[in-house]
Amino acid sequence: MTIDYHPDLFAQARRLIPGGVNSPVRAFQAVGGSPVYFKSAQGAYLMDVDNRQYIDYVGGFGPAILGHAHPDVVSACVDALSCGMTFGACHPLEITMAEKIISMMPSIEMVRLVNSGTEAAMSAVRLARAATGRTKIVKFSGGYHGHVDALLVSAGSGATTLGCPSSPGIPSQTTQNTLLAEYNDLASIQSLFDMHAGDIAAVLIEPISGNMGLVLPEPGFLSSLASLCKKYGSLLVFDEVMTGFRVALGGAQSLYDCQPDLTILGKVIGGGLPVGAIGGKSELMSLLAPTGPVSQAGTLSGNPITCASGLATLSYLERDQQAIYSNLSDFSCRLTSGMQKIADRYEIPFTTSYAGGMLGFFFTHGPVRNYNDACQSNPRLFQTFFHAMMAQGVYFAPSAYEAGFVSIMHTDIELEHTLDAVDKAFQAVSQTFADSLHESI
Ligand code: PLP
């Protein structure tokens, strides 16, 4: 069963905006039906235009770690707004913001603020190529680094295959230097180094993968990857746009005690406003213009409202970091283990994972170690689950391959309501499962 939540609004939007949306996953194509339209968000809740309330596990796709409209963030933005929205010039808040990020991530000595994770990834690739004088970039199947031409390479075409573009409009010359490896598979990376030693500028990885559902690195994977990069003189770039300040204050690099050469950030550091950042050792970062020759610029980069919003968010997280990250982990752990128990009771193939304030689940038997495993998740079961949860006022992302996000405003009350809803949703899921088994006979 699929539902058109607000068909009139969506019909109007489709006449004016391609597909009716400003970012494709919002269109509900993966779950069927058409999107719900929200009018406000507060704490752990979203409110739709018909005044229906939903517990939110999307969190703006990551930024809302303090919950929506947190008073500290709102008042910081209001104060900044009243002083002017953008100067196109230097201001003290950008220094405070840089200091804050650098103090929280030891691998970062200098940071450049940009406007999105995509922009950060694009600039990181350019910087890595300039720094090494090499052209090839390794990314991982199922890894997403924004819609950068060179990084939009179809996943799953094999560890040693040269990348081919996954969107029209990207010339094959643009992706011919993009190589694909398999997540959690060191041999796939070793074979790329064997074939292209001396040509690989950087290995770009989500240290905890969050764009094929949530897939955790196996013990030793990241540190072995770092050693390989060092051995072959390639830069290790951690894309912590999603994981930065969400899985731990110092990001996945602190959880796994692994220092990349460059880090790209986004989401949480903007507290809900458009943002991205590239950070790393001063020697590398100084290659960026104007100290160095690598072009990088932005009209709204480091704008004062984003800095105020991000600073308020990071300062709040820092103040009570131990309690905050332990509570986020505890919530994610109890939610995912509760879901697993329910799935087991209904005998539905299901597996879950979590890291701090991020969680994931797949409708397949685990373990899910890489993109290929993630693709085994049953889309029909997810679709049924998604709409059954919506009907009970719980909003997960409308795609089986998005991570779930929790905030400090998610409490036992929301946990209990969610697990009750999961139990009811799995009654519908088990019917879909039975139907699919019947059809496959
Ligand atoms: N990198 C990762 C890991 C992401 O999850 C995303 C977006 O979801 C991006 C980069 C791109 O960020 P943005 O959407 O801000 O361009």
Average pLDDT over residues 34-43: 97
Percent of the chain with pLDDT over 90: 92
Report CA dihedral (393, 398, 403, 406) to the nearest 10 degrees.
-20
Instruction: Give the pLDDT score at 437.
Output: 80
Instruction: Give the pLDDT score at 236.
Output: 98
Residue 326, burial from CB neighbour count under 10 angstroms (0-12, 13-18, 19+): exposed
211 in contact with ligand 1, CB cutoff 6 A: yes
Average pLDDT over residues 200-211: 97
Mutation to probe ligand 1, out of 267, 273, 300 (largest number of atoms < 8 A from CB): 267
- Point out the residues that are catalytic: 144, 239, 267
- The closest of 405, 237, 253, 272 to 332, measured between CA atoms, is 405
Whether residue 219 is preceded by a cis peptide bond, meaning omega within 30 degrees of 0, is no
145 in contact with ligand 1, CB cutoff 6 A: yes
Q: Hey, what are 217's tokens?
A: 């690195």
Average pLDDT over residues 361-381: 96
Say if residues 175 and 164 touch (Cβ distance below 8 Å): yes
Residue 52 has pLDDT above 70, yes or no: yes
Cα separation, 158 vs 389, whole angstroms: 36
Q: Is 58 helix (H, G, I), strand (E, B) or coil?
A: coil
Cα separation, 414 vs 392, whole angstroms: 12
Q: Ligand 1 mean position to 120 CA, how many Å?
A: 9
Instruction: Give the pLDDT score at 389.
Output: 98
Percent of the chain with pLDDT over 70: 97
Give pLDDT tens digits for 272-320: 999 999 999 999 999 999 999 999 999 999 999 999 999 999 999 999 9
Strand segments, DSSP code E, in 387-437 are 394-395, 404-405
Q: Ligand 1 mean position to 224 CA, how many Å?
A: 25
116 in contact with ligand 1, CB cutoff 6 A: yes
Give pLDDT tens digits for 330-351: 999 999 999 999 999 999 999 9
- Atom from ligand 1 closest to the CA of residue 267: 15
Instruction: Give the pLDDT score at 159.
Output: 29
Average pLDDT over residues 373-388: 96
Average pLDDT over residues 369-379: 95
Instruction: Give the pLDDT score at 100.
Output: 98
Say if residues 62 and 244 touch (Cβ distance below 8 Å): no
pTM, two decimals, is 0.96
Say if residues 223 and 258 touch (Cβ distance below 8 Å): yes
- Atom from ligand 1 closest to the CA of residue 266: 15
182 in contact with ligand 1, CB cutoff 6 A: no
Q: Hey, what are 436's tokens?
A: 């699919």
Nearest CA to ligand 1 atom 10: 145
Residue 83: band (very low, low, confident or very high) from pLDDT cuts 50, 70, 90: very high
Say if residues 117 and 145 touch (Cβ distance below 8 Å): yes
Give pLDDT tens digits for 141-177: 999 999 999 999 853 323 233 456 678 899 889 899 9
Residue 73 has pLDDT above 70, yes or no: yes
Q: Hey, what are 184's tokens?
A: 């959690």
